[in-house]
Amino acid sequence: MSLPCGGNRPTLRLRAEQVPAPSPAILAAKFGLTALCSSFPMNILLLAPHPFYQERGTPIAVDMLLEVLSRDGHQVDVVTFHEGRERTYGNVAIHRIKPWIEVKNIRPGFSGKKLYCDLFLMFSAFKLLRRRRYDLIHAVEESSFMALLFSRFFKIPFVYDMDSLMSAQLIARFPILSFVAKPMNWMESFPIKRAKMVAPMCDDLAAAVGRYRDGGVVLIKDVSLVKADDGSEQGDDLRQELQITDGEIVMYIGNLEPYQGIDLLLSSFKVLCRSNRGVHLVLIGGVWRDIEHYRVCALELELERRVHLIGPRPVDHIGHYMKQADLLVSPRIHGTNTPMKIYSYLHSGTPIVATDLETHTQILNDEISGLAAPEPGAFAQAMAVLLEDAHLRHQLGQRAAAYAEREHSYERFVASVRQLYPPVSKSPAGTV
């Protein structure tokens, strides 16, 4: 590289091998063939600021996205955290950060560990952007702020893959921040306004996005993870494993973070046990620290023989586990985005009881589920009504399964992803 002076203005010369080769999509745009751009595979940089792969919400959604992009022939570089299991896809390269001090057990939501890893993710993405020409940056969660900077610097459009309102999440976790809610909302509006496209994952987020832009929004809802060919024999027989010989099974699947309402669930279950002494509660998921915490809570509530915390199980087995339950529950108490598990709950055909909050009601209603106030007595009553009425359970389960098949199938997800990308690829690369 040399920096000779021509007149009063310095010029920059790069050797031929240092200049990133333009992709077919860029060349098509350059020569006015924008109508054909969607027929060309794109070079995509995907920023995934979380452990990958792990069997929980956002990593599962990213995994499904990569399957679609790979199948459609796009070339994708994924920059993600150092933690997680390896995944292999055609046309996809996964680049893991290498933090100076390796941190472990990075949990969902804001944390010092996550912020530390985000810095290394930004540096890793910057190095890739210097070496290769991309048609698009796909930014998940908080990496949208990185994409905003990269978009300006490298003249590349970006898509904001929006899983939650970050400001609302922070305030829910740290209520003291509520006095700076307006400045936080203002900051969060920048990537929403400047993204080429925004992909919210639920109706509530789509409404929030609509406050800042009129178009360029594609709603990509999560889908059921219950597959038609998952096989009824996959997974363990829980009654045999847990030595449950009597009573019904109430089941919760998901992480055990505070916003999920596990404290509410245990308190409600204590009330339920007063009228139904045969019922059992099975909780699937969580990290071992949280599992031990809630085992102590169950012991203090004198529920140790009725509450079974069995830890994480393979996603491929959840359909089999849900079929063994008499009732599925989602006691979430914070947030507005719909839990990914709800779609699998619906598809399973097992009846659901959930808190009567926006996080659920943008998908659930009284026709396909039982809804209750986030209060122990009300939630316990809703569970009791369904456990005592097998016919009502059957009706709700059948209607829920039909709704999930119609509105939240994997085919719907694929169609939404393909709706997201053509508008971006038809625009000349480098316009923002």
DSSP state of 223: -
Whether residue 16 lies inside any domain: the answer is no
Q: Are residues 170 and 308 in the same domain?
A: no
Residues with pLDDT less than 70, the chain = 1-39, 227-235, 422-432
Sign of CA dihedral 94, 97, 102, 106: negative
Q: Are residues 248 and 123 in the same domain?
A: no
Query: What is the count of structural domains for the chain?
Result: 2
Token pair, residue 167, equals 């400001």
Q: Are residues 371 and 417 in the same domain?
A: no
Query: What pLDDT is recorded for position 108?
Result: 81
Q: Are residues 336 and 288 in the same domain?
A: yes
Whether residue 92 lies inside any domain: the answer is yes
Whether residue 8 lies inside any domain: the answer is no
Token pair, residue 176, equals 């003291």
CATH number at residue 256: 3.40.50.2000
Q: Are residues 203 and 284 in the same domain?
A: no
Cα 323 from Cα 251, distance rounded (Å): 10
Q: Are residues 402 and 265 in the same domain?
A: yes
Contacts 24+ apart (CB under 8 A), 385-390: 386/327, 386/351, 386/353, 387/248, 387/250, 387/272, 387/276, 387/279, 387/326, 387/327
Q: Are residues 280 and 346 in the same domain?
A: yes
Q: Are residues 249 and 166 in the same domain?
A: no
Whether residue 337 lies inside any domain: the answer is yes
Cα 55 from Cα 18, distance rounded (Å): 39
Whether residue 273 lies inside any domain: the answer is yes
Q: Are residues 33 and 46 in the same domain?
A: yes
Q: Are residues 291 and 252 in the same domain?
A: yes
Q: 0.85 exceeded by the pTM?
A: no
Domain that holds residue 252: 238-407
Q: Are residues 163 and 251 in the same domain?
A: no
Cα 345 from Cα 392, distance rounded (Å): 16
Q: Are residues 160 and 179 in the same domain?
A: yes
Whether residue 52 lies inside any domain: the answer is yes
Whether residue 232 lies inside any domain: the answer is no
Query: What pLDDT is recorded for position 16?
Result: 39
Whether residue 152 lies inside any domain: the answer is yes
Query: What pLDDT is recorded for position 77?
Result: 98
